[in-house]
Amino acid sequence: GLASLFAFIDEMGDLSDTYTLMEAGNFVLLTAPRRLYDMLPMAALIGCLIGLGSLASSSELTIMRAAGVSIGRIVWAVMKPMLVLMLVGLLIGEYVAPVTENKAQADRSLAQGGGEAQSSKRGMWHRQGEEYVHINSVQPNGLLLGVTRYRFDSERKIVTSSFARRAQYQNDHWLLADVRTTYFRGDHTEVVGAPQERWDVSLTPELLNTVILAPESLSITGLWDYIHYLSDQGLNNARYWLAFWTKVLQPMVTAALVLMAIS
């Protein structure tokens, strides 16, 4: 409701000739499952407080206790719908929100770029070994738009810089298209163009779809896989661990808030 309205108002600041109100509305709609998932614990708390408050104001809780209904039965009666709510939240967070969030980000990127690769400030960076990679957009079908690679030597001096307009994953490697590579050779540079180039890297489309999203928007399994990928690469994964445990513990947090409301 209000969260989506505020999200839409926030998107209006990014409107352009290609990113119209229709695209902004589509983005807000597709990101709604993520906002719903984030608000579930507080929604459960508020719903429980309203429900029990209504019963208390009409003295129904007192009547139930006088009729011999134990506190345990009252707690269980309140917890049953909350358990269903927690299960629905888990399913949304694991299977619905990551998919819709990925599509929302991809559609937004494409619209803001006018159908081409988006501007660099909207892309994402990734490091693997001595190679630093910037990707403008990761499409849901695995297509990459605007892949820029910078390779450095052991002394942190740039060796090559290349830009590929597109990249498609085939079998166990990426196939770059419309590649332009600059070689830095001491006091001069050499520029070489190629229609296609093979790019061997351990990043798969699934991992890249994980990288392009904020940790809070990923599924538990997606976070687990990417945490171990970062660990294998010797990169910092603390932010992803935090998001992982936040999602794992969310049902317990919801249950604790409901018990707090009952008390």
Shared domain for 100 and 132, answered yes or no, is: no
Shared domain for 202 and 157, answered yes or no, is: yes
Q: Mean pLDDT for each 10-residue chunk of the chain (263 residues)?
A: 90 86 94 93 88 84 84 86 90 92 80 51 74 82 87 90 94 93 90 94 79 85 89 86 94 88 79
Does 222 map to a domain?
A: no
Cβ atoms of residues 100 and 177 within 8 Å? no
Number of domains observed in the structure of the chain? 2
Shared domain for 109 and 147, answered yes or no, is: no
- CA–CA distance from 30 to each of 23, 26, 67, 99 (Å)? 11, 6, 48, 9
Query: What is the per-residue pLDDT for 129?
Result: 79
Tokens 């358990």 sit on residue: 83
Does 92 map to a domain?
A: yes
> For the chain, where are the alpha helices, taking DSSP H only?
2-11, 21-30, 32-57, 60-66, 71-91, 97-112, 205-211, 220-232, 238-262
HSE-CB at 258 with a 13 A cutoff on CA atoms is 26
Shared domain for 109 and 43, answered yes or no, is: yes
* Gap between the Cα atoms of 86 and 172, Å rounded: 38
Amino acid at 52: L
Cα 102 to chain center, whole Å?
Answer: 7
Instruction: Give the global pTM.
Output: 0.72
* Gap between the Cα atoms of 252 and 156, Å rounded: 47
Query: What is the per-residue pLDDT for 219?
Result: 92
Does 234 map to a domain?
A: no
Query: What is the per-residue pLDDT for 100?
Result: 92
Closest to 243 (Cα-Cα) out of 230, 261, 256: 230
Shared domain for 188 and 107, answered yes or no, is: no
Shared domain for 170 and 129, answered yes or no, is: yes
- The residue range of the domain holding 137 is 124-211
